[in-house]
Amino acid sequence: MLTSGTGLPAPVLDHDVCDDRGRFLGCSEIAYPAFRTAVEYEGDYHRTDRRRWQSDIEKYQAYAAVGWRVVQVTADHLRVPRRTVQRVREVLLQAGWRPGPH
């Protein structure tokens, strides 16, 4: 979904996000480290398991504290891939990414 043909830069998969001292904050399935942007898939498990939900909130707060942005997507979002790509594009542009020749 966020690979070739979207006009977006190539993401890094399963990227460990750390703070400036190297402390592990979390692992994101899809990330754009140069732009401190993560894309997180929120399946029902993330919503229905109280511990997972709490852990996700803490993870995203930790990311924000070190300047990372998080784009959260669900199965419904993935049914409209163009819109999801547009959401990621908007966040990357806010983070300083500029489209260009690939």
- CATH code, 37: 3.40.960
Cβ(102)–Cβ(69) under 8 Å? no
Question: Does 5 fall in a domain?
Answer: no
Q: Is 54 left (phi over 0), alpha (psi -120 to 50) or beta?
A: alpha
pLDDT of residue 63: 98
Question: Does 98 fall in a domain?
Answer: no
Q: Tell me the pLDDT band of 4, cut-offs 50, 70 and 90.
A: low
Question: Does 1 fall in a domain?
Answer: no
Domain that holds residue 68: 12-91
Indicate the pTM of the whole model: 0.87
- Once rounded to an integer, what is the mean pLDDT over residues 89-100? 95
pLDDT digits (tens, 9 = 90+) for 36-91: 999 999 876 666 778 888 999 999 999 999 999 999 999 888 888 899 999 999 99
pLDDT of residue 95: 97
